[in-house]
Structure 1
Amino acid sequence: MTKLIGYARVSTRQQSTDRQQVDILAAGVRRDDLYIDHGISGARASRPHFDRALDALQAGDTLVITTLDRLGRSTQNMLAFAEELRGRDAGLRVLNLGGGDVDTSTPMGSMLFTIMAALGQMEHEIKRERVVDSIAKRREAGKSLGGRPRLITDSQIRNARRLIEGGETAAQVALDLGMSRATFYRRARALGLPPDQSADETLTSDTGK
């Protein structure tokens, strides 16, 4: 007897598969035949519950997912997976592919799957290009890119202190390092390299207000 095997996935533990589960169960999948991966990226080759879902698939069965990106990120991987299912005489049903329900076991569904997989990959590449372009523009404008603060080594702090001794201002040196003057002074003192006295007095005066 053929059956439907459901699979749902979210990339982070904070996300929920509730919506996916509702749609998959409504498509006729039994809850005992629904496999879920939490906090697993689509880029990973090994997904524990996805592997279990595939192991459960028998000839004539159909894997049911809500959207194409639950399978993975690249067109090549998606199409290779669809071909693998065909080789096992199993089908793939995507509940929301191109705005509708697509079953790759049918000729029309197979063709549409190929087209939509290619379009999905193209959209991913376009988004990636936009992100890269945005980062490049922010760099050119001298704006912060966000993310983790740059790690400043003790050696950089020592070199910065030498620059101050050579006539550079503490404010400019701290700016070049990407930190505040107060942070620079604190790091310098921790290394036994206090800034010049005038800078200390300025800091004390500023923090004492």
Structure 2
Amino acid sequence: MGKLIGYARVSTRQQSTDRQEADLLAAGVRRDDLYVDQGVSGARASRPQFDRAVDALEEGDTLVITTLDRLGRSTQNMLAFAEELRQIDAGLRVLNLGGGDVDTSTPMGSMLFTIMAALAQMEHDIKSERITDSVSKRRAAGKHLGGRPRRITDSQIRSALHLIQNGETTAQVIRDLGISRSTFYRRAAELTP
């Protein structure tokens, strides 16, 4: 019986892998055999800690992940990875599939993995479609889309324009506001009818 190699990943630095790590440790993965990618998209084929986890796999070992989408977004990439596991005679265990091993070397395990990879990609595509649709609807309704709040108000931009019209240099006014020249000109253009 080989060892368990755990892998956890989150796409942004603001997210936490704490829950994934706790689940992997509870499944029997040793902390020394746990690899974590922080702020790395699943769409990338190469992820530093994922690559290290795969390199650590030896014959008879099992890669343990919490959900299938931790492997990636593309069915094609997941199937290529399954083939890579098959070549080194390693297994895969996905905890949200009931905790059972998905043995990609057997026809049944290979079929299950293929179906789950396709479902994971479909779920990601549907989620992306919903987000795009929501943004379009909010934009059409003239609603705020979120994002970073403006540090400089429209009133401050108007005051700056007034100072420039009265002889202050643009460079000095922009420096006093603490914004870039391009931001100032873009904001000024938005205010002029």
Q: Matches of 1:47 and 1:193 in 2, distance apart?
A: 55
Query: Which amino acid in the other structure matches residue 5 of structure 1?
Result: I
Contact 1:96 1:102 in 2 (8 A): no
User: Hey, what does 2:103 align to over in structure 1?
Assistant: 104
User: Hey, what does 1:187 align to over in structure 2?
Assistant: 160
Q: Please report how far the alpha carbon of residue 50 of structure 1 lies from its aligned counterpart in structure 2 after TM superposition.
A: 1.3
TM-score for the superposition, normalised by structure 2 = 0.72
Structure whose CA Rg is larger: 1
Q: Please report how far the alpha carbon of residue 186 of structure 1 lies from its aligned counterpart in structure 2 after TM superposition.
A: 1.9
Q: Matches of 1:101 and 1:193 in 2, distance apart?
A: 75
User: Hey, what does 2:126 align to over in structure 1?
Assistant: 126
Is the alpha carbon distance of 1:45 and 1:186 closer, same or farther for their aligned partners in structure 2, counting shifts above 3 Å? farther
User: Hey, what does 1:71 align to over in structure 2?
Assistant: 71
Q: Matches of 1:123 and 1:30 in 2, distance apart?
A: 31
Q: Please report how far the alpha carbon of residue 63 of structure 1 lies from its aligned counterpart in structure 2 after TM superposition.
A: 0.9
Q: Which runs of 4+ in 1 moved over 4 A?
A: none
Out of 185-194 and 75-84, give the one that drifted further: 185-194
- 1:138 and 2:145 aligned: no
Is the alpha carbon distance of 1:13 and 1:134 closer, same or farther for their aligned partners in structure 2, counting shifts above 3 Å? closer
Query: Which amino acid in the other structure matches residue 47 of structure 1?
Result: R
Structure 1: stretches of 5+ with no match in the other structure: 151-178, 195-209
Is the alpha carbon distance of 1:8 and 1:139 closer, same or farther for their aligned partners in structure 2, counting shifts above 3 Å? closer
User: Hey, what does 1:169 align to over in structure 2?
Assistant: none
User: Hey, what does 1:37 align to over in structure 2?
Assistant: 37
Structure 2: stretches of 5+ with no match in the other structure: 168-193
Q: Matches of 2:166 and 2:149 in 1, distance apart?
A: 23
Q: Please report how far the alpha carbon of residue 148 of structure 1 lies from its aligned counterpart in structure 2 after TM superposition.
A: 4.3
Q: Matches of 2:143 and 2:34 in 1, distance apart?
A: 47
Q: Matches of 2:10 and 2:135 in 1, distance apart?
A: 27
Higher RCO structure, 1 or 2 (CA under 8 Å, sep 6+)? 2
User: Hey, what does 2:50 align to over in structure 1?
Assistant: 50
Q: Please report how far the alpha carbon of residue 118 of structure 1 lies from its aligned counterpart in structure 2 after TM superposition.
A: 0.9
Aligned residues: 165
Query: Which amino acid in the other structure matches residue 147 of structure 2?
Result: G
